[in-house]
């Protein structure tokens, strides 16, 4: 809070790679829900946090999973001190406050759960709460944002067409090398040379995706490795802990990945 008791929004660092910020802001102004697609660790969540702070909106984030129910999003009655009280879920809180509700990895949620989003993603922009009999009308500032990783999609993990076509969408990928170098430097404090070597290593590792790796090294993992290096850990050890071990459990694959690390960070 500032001197006027107004919330202070610290804008998280985010380096645009195109016109994604302008598209997000226009979608918000036009009351359109947003779908963001992209691999793990490419910056989807950071982007949403950046835009929420930039637009000075409260952000309610939900990490979706198989056991997520509609009540987890909307709310439920709780028993406290012998009485029953209603407790809003994050979706309801976002609607009431006119903030952004962000559902991360929405395809992980059960399909009967995502159906509750439908009334908020068309021109009605309402949230019926059956257990209290309320019908909340979303204020102009409310926005629904969902994301998922298309690399994990299969027949049981996808959005229904009736849900997908309620959103405007954008695709994310790992940033271009010159941008990724800047991100690694900004987030960790390592030198430009170290950041450049890490991004070069990531480029080499990403060529293996689909062959030996289900997923490749993310920008997030590069930052982890850089932070370990900035703290004084030897580069090869930092890369083993932050880049190699998280990508595979197979000893042969780990050895192959480490040999690629050694080309960028020789002993």
Contacts of 44 (CB under 8 A, 6+ apart): 36, 38, 104, 147, 172
53 has a pLDDT exceeding 80: yes
Residues 107-125 as b/e (b if ≥16 CB within 10 A, e otherwise) read: bbbeeebbebbeebbeeeb
161-199: per-residue pLDDT in tens?
888 899 999 999 999 999 999 999 999 999 999 999 999
155 pLDDT above the threshold of 50: no
Residues 6+ apart with CB under 8 A from 48: 36, 59, 61, 100, 102, 145, 147
Taking 90 as the threshold, does the pLDDT of residue 114 lie above it?
no
Condensed to tens digits (0 to 9), the pLDDT of residues 221-256 reads 999 999 999 999 999 999 999 999 999 898 988 999
Residue by residue, DSSP assigns 49-83 as: HHHHHHTT--EEEEE--TT--HHHHHEEEEEETTE
Cβ–Cβ < 8 Å for 142, 99: yes
- Residue 75's beta-bridge partner residues? 88
| Percent of the chain whose predicted confidence (pLDDT) is above 90 | 75
* Prediction pTM value: 0.89
Q: Which of 115, 66, 108 is nearest to 91 (CA)?
A: 115
Q: What percent of the chain has pLDDT over 70?
A: 93
Going by C-alpha positions, the residue among 219, 206, 116 that lies closest to residue 166 is 116
Mean pLDDT score of the chain: 91
Question: CATH assignment of 20-171?
Answer: 3.40.50.300
Mean pLDDT for the stretch of residues 88-114: 93
Instruction: Give the pLDDT of residue 223.
Output: 97
Is 129:136 a contact under the CB 8 Å cutoff? yes
> According to DSSP H, which parts of 30-176 are helical?
44-54, 70-74, 90-97, 111-114, 161-164
CA dist 238 and 56 (Å) reads 37
Residues 101-106, mean pLDDT to the nearest whole number = 96
The answer to whether residues 257 and 248 touch, using CB atoms and an 8 Å cutoff, is yes
């Amino acid at each position: 809070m500032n001197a006027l008791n107004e919330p202070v929004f610290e804008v998280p660092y985010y380096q645009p790679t195109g016109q994604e910020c302008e598209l997000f802001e226009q979608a918000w102004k036009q009351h359109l829900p947003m779908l963001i697609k992209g691999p793990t660790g490419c910056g989807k969540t950071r982007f949403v946090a950046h835009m929420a702070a930039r637009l000075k909106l409260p952000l309610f984030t939900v990490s979706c999973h198989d056991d997520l129910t509609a009540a987890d999003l909307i709310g439920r009655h709780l028993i406290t001190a012998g009485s029953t009280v209603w407790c809003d879920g994050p979706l309801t809180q976002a609607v009431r406050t006119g903030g952004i509700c962000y559902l991360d990895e929405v395809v992980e949620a059960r399909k009967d759960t995502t159906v509750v989003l439908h009334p908020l993603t068309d021109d009605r922009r309402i949230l019926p709460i059956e257990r209290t009999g309320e019908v909340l009308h979303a204020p102009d500032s409310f926005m629904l944002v969902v994301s998922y990783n298309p690399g994990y999609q299969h027949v049981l993990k996808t959005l229904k067409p009736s849900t997908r076509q309620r959103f405007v969408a954008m695709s994310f990928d790992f940033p271009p090398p010159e941008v990724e170098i800047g991100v690694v430097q900004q987030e960790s404090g390592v030198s430009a040379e170290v950041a450049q070597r890490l991004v070069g290593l990531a480029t080499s590792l990403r060529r293996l995706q689909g062959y030996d790796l289900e997923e490749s090294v993310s920008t997030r993992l590069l930052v982890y490795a850089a932070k370990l290096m900035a703290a004084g850990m030897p580069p090869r050890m930092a890369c083993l802990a932050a880049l190699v071990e998280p990508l595979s459990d197979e000893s042969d694959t780990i050895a192959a990945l480490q040999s690629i690390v050694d080309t960028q960070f020789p002993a």
